[in-house]
Structures are given as structure tokens and as C-alpha cells.
Structure 1
Amino acid sequence: MPTTHNDLVTLLRAATPLIAIESPEEDRVIESFRHAIADALLPLHRWSITEGLRRIDLDLSDSGGDSVDSLAPDASYTLQYMRQQAARGIYLMLDFNPYLRYPMILRLLREIVQRQGGVAHTVVLVATKLEIPEELEPYVTRFSLSLPDAKAIADLLRAEAFAYSRETGKRVEVDADAARTMVRNLIGLTLNDARQIVRQLIWRDGALGQDDLPELAKAKFALLNRDGLLHFEYHTAQFADVAGLSRLKTWVNQRRGAFIGAKTAIKLDPPKGVLLLGVQGCGKSLAAKAIAGGFGVPLARLDFGSLYNKFHGETERNLRAALKNAELLAPCVLWIDEIEKGLAAGSSDDGVSRRVLGYLLTWMAERKANVFLVATANQVQELPAELLRKGRFDEIFFVDLPDEAIRTEIFRLHLHKRELDKLGFEPTTLATAAAGFSGAEIEQAIVAALYTAAGAQRGLIQQDILDEIRRTRPLSVLMAEQVEDLRSWAKERTVAAD
């Protein structure tokens, strides 16, 4: 899929019969062809249902070109006109897709691209989204415009700041470090989308500063994720919000500089990702959020359930689109929660799970974008062996049930979160009583105790929490055999997160 000016010129000189371009930037597509024909030396025409067919490589009128005929908006007439031309030409057909459903139109276009009329025209289908009929697939070459580079984005930033100053008479206050970060974060967007975000940030307060970076991340994600395949986690956690996980915290802190591109004494490859296995409710999801907070980058969550589609090939297409959007959001953390549920092969899925796994493994091995993958799983026996092979992830961490010291810290964190830490509770006593509890079960005990106190129309006391702990049967008791099997499996195969 060529993307440069020279590639486009080569396609035109080679008399490529049919080119398909998916892009919302219609004006930019047209401008790219205007530049290309300066080297290819071919006449350039544009067709739309509203204006008909016009030649646009010559400035023949104020309207931007020469109208071929008053009947030109008719699609079949336009294709007949092309067949009658003795000289080669390039024809940009804007939003022509709906007409390809008609047998007459489809047949005429096939005859043109098959060169049955003898003239080697190049027909270019341009639309935001194209569905190419099977009859045309053998002849089509797909082309995409290159996205703007850092220089183009920086020029855009300056132009929008100048436009704001010209309109308001006020100078835009620009933080140089923040502006450089914005340029890096806007790479991956079209110029139109980048301009939309920059204008929003400038007009919000007449400045571009560090406080605009979170808003930029949200706006960029909203533009990239039009299909709703990813979920943007607006509130990531910090490691200070997470009890335990000391080894995982150290591991992430050691790699933060390499991931964000900071200068290091030794050249280091950026980290690729981790797999978090563990007992349910022990903080794997919170750890994923804290990793994004530790790196200081956005967090996007991929739900495999949203990818699956009953139509053949659509699930794989959705996965490709989701991973592409994650790359465009880079640098970021991509969190795949309960990954085993999306990769467990069923007897009736026609191999979809295997194809999804294959594409995911290929992406993990070959991706160039700075996307750190965090996968979490509860049922290790359902994970395919290919995913666990050494080298797929930088490390596999096991998040175990918290010991007494970590349970004490969990009680402190949750009591502080609810502004209850100054009411005389004894976290150590509570932690001792909650032996075998996960972090989620500890939190739920506090929540349930609060409801008990509210029902009695009084304040919370420690005995309320102790009573809830006594009434609760934690997962380590309800599913003791499964939990112990998981812990035994992980002991020699993974790195303890604590």
C-alpha cells in the first residue's frame, strides 16, 4: 500500500487501471493528484454527483475546471464519455461507491479498467469508506495518503496559534515542552483531525500548556475510536494507590525511561508488555491501570467480546482496526482484560479464535509503535501455549492472594479513600481477621459494613467490618482446590508480583 508522492507518480505512469483511496480528506487527495500529474503529465478529471465531470489540471474557470457536459452528473453517461476518449486520462470519482451496485455501471467500469476500449485510463475511487465489488477486486490497487509528519504538525500548531491571535488580538501562551509533546502525540492523525484538536485546545483558554495534554489524549482517542472497539480509561491509577506488587512496581519503574524515550546511559529496547496471571479480585485490573499511570501514558482497554462478529472475516478486521488505533494512540498502554476468554477456541467458531490468536501474535512480534501490552488472565489452563512461549511477553507476573502485611495496607487505602482512617480503626486487626481475602473482597466487606451502619442510622464501627468478614466466605475457601492449583502452577513458572 504505497503512501508517498513518488509511489503515486509510479502508479500513474504505470497506467494502473483502478485505484481505491479511503480517506475523509477529499481535498488532500485531489491536491496529491494535482502534484502527481506534474510528473506524470496526464489530464486530471474529477467527478461528483453534484458537479458532474470536470477537468481540474487546467485553470479554465473560477470554478476550478472545465465542465465536460451538462449531463455529466449521470454516472453511466460519464463512463460512456470516458470510453470515447482517445487520450489517456485520470478520473477521480468521488463517492462513486453507491453506483457500483447497478449492473450497467459495474459492467461499464469493468470494460474501462479491462481496457476493452483500448485507452489506458486510470480510474480512482475516492470515499471515506469503500466496498469494492468482487468483480473489480482483481484490478484494484489500494492506496493511502501518508499521514502528516512532525514538521507538518508543528507548522499546523504555529498556524492555528497565529490564526487565534489574528482573530482575537491576543497572543497564545505556549509552553515549549508541552508543544513538543503535543506534536508527538498528534502524529498518526490526519491534518483535519489534528487541526480540530489544536483549535479546541487553543480556544479553551488561549494557551497550550501541560494541562492540555490529558484533553489532547481524550480527543485523539475519540477521533481514532469511531468504531468503539477500544475503551479509553480516563482515570488511570498510580502505584501509590496499589498495595503490594513490589516486584512489578520496581520492574515498571526501571523501564519507564526506555518506554517514554528518555535518554539513558545504555541504549535500551523499549519494553513490550507483561502478562498478569492471578486469583480473581487480587488487583490485576488495578495493576494494569497503575502501569499506565507509572509510565505516564494513556490507557486503552480492548474487550475481545466487542470484536466478534457473525460475518466471515469481520472479527479479524475488527482486531486489525483496534490494534491500528492503539498504535496511533502511542505511546500508550493497551490492556486486554481476561484475554483467555477471547482466545479460547470453541468447536463451532470455524477457526476464528485461531486466526485471531495468529494475528495477535504476529502483531506482538512485529509492531513498531510504542504500545505496551498488558494482558490479564484468571484461567491459565485456557490460555493457548503459543501465548505463553518465552518472548511473547517481557515477563509473566503472578498476582497472589495478599499476605497479612499487604491486607493491612489494603484496609488503610480503602479506609482513607472513604475518609474513615481517622475514626480509630485498627487495620492490623482487620487484616488478621480477613485471612484468605482478596483485595476486592476486603473492599466489599467495608462497603457492606457501611450499609449496615447506615441502616442502623449510626456511624461505622470496627465491629461492623469484623462481622462482615466473619459472614463472608472468600473465593480462597469457596474454590479452594482451583485456587491452590493455580498457585502451584504459577510457583515455578512465573514471577511473583509481590
Structure 2
Amino acid sequence: MSNYDEALKDLDSYISARVPIIGVRSMEQTRALRLIKQVASSPRRAGLPFWIYTRATGLRDLRTNSPAQEDRSLTGAMDFAAQQFASRGQATVIFVDPEDLSDDNTASRHVAELARLADANSGSLIILTDTPLWGGLERLGMSVTLDLPDANEMYEVIVDFLRDHHGVVPIAWTEEDARRAAEFLVGVPEGTAINVMATLVARGTVEKSDVQHLAEFKDKHFGALAGLERVRLKQSDTEVGGLTSLRAWLRRKQKIMVSDLRGTELRPPRGVLLVGVPGCGKSLSAKAISAEWQLPLYRLDLGAILGQYVGQSEARLREALDTADRLAPCILWIDEIEKGLAGQNDSTGVNRRLVGQFLFWLQESRHRVFVVATSNDVRSLPPELLRKGRFDELFFVDLPEAPDRQEIIGMYYRRYVKQDLPGELLDKLVGLSEGFAGSDLEAALHEVGEQIYLNGPESLRSEFVIDTFANTFPLSRTNPEQIEEIRAWGRERAVPAGKAPTPATSDTSPSRRRVVVFGD
């Protein structure tokens, strides 16, 4: 059942039960009014009076829209409601954003008195607002929350709009395109979605490529939020070398991410936690996933989330995660997650609460937000973040083995030298680069690219390339103890993201490494 249908059912029950005060909470005033009018238009309520007050139109009959009195002030409307509740039974008066009723003030107490009058004569007072009602009012009645349209409701909005414009402009969208567009527009109000669609139609045609552009409209709608930023991709961000097992696993998850899961018990993928050696492609993987899946990438900056006041950090994280849900489908990148959620020495308890809040969202959210979290110092992460079932999988990104280094070297050579690498030279570079991270390989070949830029392609010699690699000192050599400690942890506790090295034939001891089996 959609949120609209559920809210309709609840509101219908409350009015039938003559609940004295009914709070209808929604940020979509037009859609909420449509809900109230639909309930009031039931044939069994044809003889019951319904009035509605707004600041712009004053007090009017809900069904006929005819004025109920000349006085258009809020005070006059409240006096009218008091008279109706006192003199007749089963009257219903709707107030649209009358005053600030979120705390104990004069307006809230005035409305409470109206509710008591309504209760004495089976009347109902409906308050339509986008903020919570004061607890004293809540206790006098019931409340209904009309959330933003879900994917199915948004699909119907899109289909109805396009149906009205068939034959007016060329429309290239299929049913699948409309459903994907609905996924992109989940999280925005119905009116905003219609404005977006109207903008597409106003261009004179609705192309398939317009579906992908809907993410840009959501960016403009939500604007900037502290701690959450849109990451614009460059062409180089789409290429990742090595990480064979991770890339195969992601291809499986992409199929689930874009599938219609209605009628199943399956949920969209939660995400992946990438841990391992610095410079081996963890952050680049988040960008590559965004590019390959054709989903917008947002970076959650946990450092910007932290505030100096009690409860501020938790509120900011909640707002950021709620916004991520509204921006779905998307990729949510949390770089170096340990810096925001570690907090072993935190005496305030803020980090512990942030971890709990994040894990609750990760567990309960059903929006298509795929989290890519990276960590260089996994030992500082709270154990509950590493428990199986939090993320869909925990991958260890190790120093690339020879086959992966071969792929990475060839990729960066083509990028910076603009040609393929001769096979004999490639074999030498693979041998020289034992212990190199992906960033080390890129740095060496970037230096080769600088040589060509300064002295021309004819200046490039194989000896220079070999010397450049020989003179590159990776972190595995400058700080071997730290790197070996990280690698020892990953070998035992996570799935290898790259090609696992083939064990020696003489070693008959059972392997403790986890192995991923892909069987589509």
C-alpha cells in the first residue's frame, strides 16, 4: 500500500470515528488538500458540512468553494468554528497552517479549546501543517503523516503527465524509462516532479537521455547541505585497473540495484566496505561505480558533520542520511570512514551515537542508496561496523599482484603516453614494480608523461621509463612494518578485491582466506 493510500485510509477512519482533532502533517499542501477532499467527497458524508480556512482565501465551503463569511481573519474563522461545534453535530473545519502550533503557546491552547468543543458535539478539527503539533494537542486526537510520493506513486504521476502530452511533443520514453525516472525523482514533492517533467516537455521533445539528467534537477532542488556534496566525475575517474573480484561482485549488485523488486522480499544492495593498503584504488572505486552504474555520486564528509553543541552532530548526520534517501538512486561515498566513526578516546559518547545512528539507517533504509565506505586504518573502526550483514560485503584492497599491475601499468601508460606499451617493456615494469600500489604506478607513469610533454614524444626512451620505476620508492618499502600489519589483517578477515595469488603447490595447509564464488 502506498503512503498516500495508507494516509487516506487512516484519515477516513479518524473522521468516521469523529476524532476531535486530527493533525495532517505534510510538506505538500496541495497533495494533502487533495487527500482531505477525497475523504470529504465520500457519498456517505454527503450530508456532513466541511469548511476550510486558508490565509489567502479565508473560510470557505470545502466542496463548493463558496465563502462561509466575509471576515477572512484567522480569529474570525476560529469564532465561526466554535459556533458550529457548539450548535450542530458532526461539523468538520480544516485549518491550513493557522499558526505555530509546535509548542505550548496561546494559539495552541486556543486550538485545544476548539478541539474540546468539537469533542462535545462529535465535531472534528483538522490541522494541516508541515511541522509537528504540540504534545498537548496530539494527546487530544490523532495524526496522519503524508510522506513524499514513493516510486510507484511517482511513476503514476509521470505516466499521467506524459499521457496528457502524447501527440503534442515526441516522447521516446518506454515504461522502463518512466520507472527509472520515478526512481530518480523519489524524494521530491509531487509538484516539483511535475515542474521537472514540464521543463522537459517545454524543450519540444522527451529523449531517453533526459532520464539521466533528472539527477541534476534533484541537485538543484536540494541545494547544498553541510557534509553532503555532489562529486563531479572526470573521464579518468571511470577507469580502474585490477580489483577483479570486486568488479565482478559489483556487476552482480548492479543487476539487483536496477531491478524491479516489487513482489519480492529482496531489498536494494546496502553497499560495500573497502579496507586495505593506502593508494590501491579504494576511493577511485567509488567514482568508477558511479560512472559504470550511471548514478550520481555524493560524498558524505563526516568531519563536517561533527558539531560543537550537544546533539548537533547527530542531527546533522540524520539530516544528511535523510537527504541521501531523497537523492536515491545514488552512490554515497564515505571516504576514510574511520576518521568520523572511530572515537576510541571519545569521552562524550558522540562517536558511539553516530555509529549507532548510521548502522540503524544502513539496516532499515529501503532506498536505493549504495554506500561505498573506505578505510585505511580498519583497526580503529568499531567492531559492530565490521559485523557480517552491516555492509553487503567487506573487501580487502591489497597491493596488486603481477596480473593486476600489468593491467594498471597499461592503463596509465595509455593515459599519459597516448600509446600502447611494448610487451617486453611491460614485462620489465611489472617485475620492477613489485610492492607498488596503484598510486605509485600512476605517479611513475605521470613522470613519464611529463618527460614527453617537456621534450616531445621522440625523447622517450625505454631506459628512462625503467629508471623512473627503479627510482620510485613505494610505501611498502619506506614503511614496511605498517603495510605488512595492514595486509596481515586483510588476509584473514576480508574478501580479496583483486586476483588472489596462487598458493604454492607444496603448501598443503588449509587456507583460511574467504573465497567469493560468482554464479549468475
TM-score, reference length from structure 2: 0.77
Matched letter for residue 44 of structure 1: F
Matched letter for residue 48 of structure 1: T
**Are 1:336 and 2:341 counterparts?**
no
Aligned mates of 2:470, 2:226 — CA distance in 1 = 43
Aligned mates of 2:133, 2:224 — CA distance in 1 = 22
Q: How does 1:60-75 map to 2 (within 5 A)?
A: 64-70=65-71, 72-73=72-73, 75=74
| CA gap 1:117/1:244 in 2 versus in 1, 3 angstroms | closer
Between 302-311 and 355-364, the greater mean CA deviation after superposition: 302-311
**Corresponding position of 1:416:** 414
Aligned mates of 1:351, 1:336 — CA distance in 2 = 21
| CA gap 1:113/1:312 in 2 versus in 1, 3 angstroms | farther
Give how far 1:487 is off: 0.8
**Corresponding position of 1:490:** 490
Matched letter for residue 155 of structure 2: I
Give how far 1:284 is off: 0.6
| CA gap 1:173/1:100 in 2 versus in 1, 3 angstroms | closer
Matched letter for residue 37 of structure 2: R
- In structure 2, the residue corresponding to 1:368 is in which secondary structure? coil
- In structure 2, the residue corresponding to 1:443 is in which secondary structure? helix
Aligned mates of 1:66, 1:189 — CA distance in 2 = 33
- In structure 2, the residue corresponding to 1:387 is in which secondary structure? helix
**Are 1:283 and 2:281 counterparts?**
yes
| CA gap 1:445/1:430 in 2 versus in 1, 3 angstroms | same
- In structure 2, the residue corresponding to 1:398 is in which secondary structure? strand
Residues 201 and 216 in structure 1, CA contact (< 8 A), matched pair in contact too: no
| CA gap 1:410/1:323 in 2 versus in 1, 3 angstroms | same
**Corresponding position of 1:47:** 53
- In structure 2, the residue corresponding to 1:414 is in which secondary structure? helix
**Are 1:190 and 2:189 counterparts?**
yes
Residues 299 and 334 in structure 2, CA contact (< 8 A), matched pair in contact too: yes
Aligned mates of 2:136, 2:12 — CA distance in 1 = 26
- In structure 2, the residue corresponding to 1:421 is in which secondary structure? coil
**Corresponding position of 1:217:** 215
2:258 to 257, 260, 279: 260
Aligned mates of 1:348, 1:267 — CA distance in 2 = 39
Matched letter for residue 54 of structure 2: S
Give how far 1:161 is off: 5.6
Aligned mates of 2:166, 2:496 — CA distance in 1 = 54
**Corresponding position of 1:345:** 343
Residues 20 and 116 in structure 2, CA contact (< 8 A), matched pair in contact too: no
| CA gap 1:51/1:122 in 2 versus in 1, 3 angstroms | same
| CA gap 1:148/1:277 in 2 versus in 1, 3 angstroms | closer
**Are 1:57 and 2:62 counterparts?**
yes
**Are 1:436 and 2:435 counterparts?**
yes
Aligned mates of 1:349, 1:120 — CA distance in 2 = 54
- In structure 1, the residue corresponding to 2:493 is in which secondary structure? coil
**Corresponding position of 1:367:** 365
Give how far 1:258 is off: 3.6
Please give the per-residue CA displacement for 1:275-308, whole angstroms capped at 9, x wherever unaligned: 1101121101122233344555444433323433
Identity %: 28
Aligned mates of 2:70, 2:482 — CA distance in 1 = 76
2:23 to 19, 24, 28: 19
Unaligned runs of 5+ in 1: none
Aligned mates of 2:389, 2:220 — CA distance in 1 = 33
Residues 111 and 117 in structure 1, CA contact (< 8 A), matched pair in contact too: no
Matched letter for residue 51 of structure 2: H
| CA gap 1:108/1:45 in 2 versus in 1, 3 angstroms | same
Residues 150 and 187 in structure 1, CA contact (< 8 A), matched pair in contact too: no
**Root-mean-square deviation (Å):** 4.0
**Corresponding position of 2:145:** 143
**Are 1:94 and 2:96 counterparts?**
yes
Aligned mates of 1:352, 1:216 — CA distance in 2 = 36
Residues 118 and 124 in structure 2, CA contact (< 8 A), matched pair in contact too: no
Aligned mates of 1:193, 1:163 — CA distance in 2 = 18
**Are 1:8 and 2:11 counterparts?**
yes
Matched letter for residue 55 of structure 1: R
Aligned mates of 1:385, 1:271 — CA distance in 2 = 21
Matched letter for residue 47 of structure 1: Y
Please give the per-residue CA displacement for 1:175-196, whole angstroms capped at 9, x wherever unaligned: 4543453345445543222212
Residues 325 and 367 in structure 2, CA contact (< 8 A), matched pair in contact too: yes
Aligned mates of 2:415, 2:31 — CA distance in 1 = 51
| CA gap 1:354/1:136 in 2 versus in 1, 3 angstroms | farther
Give how far 1:19 is off: 0.8
Give how far 1:261 is off: 2.2
Q: How does 1:457-496 map to 2 (within 5 A)?
A: 461=460, 473-496=473-496
Residues 252 and 295 in structure 1, CA contact (< 8 A), matched pair in contact too: no
Matched letter for residue 39 of structure 2: A
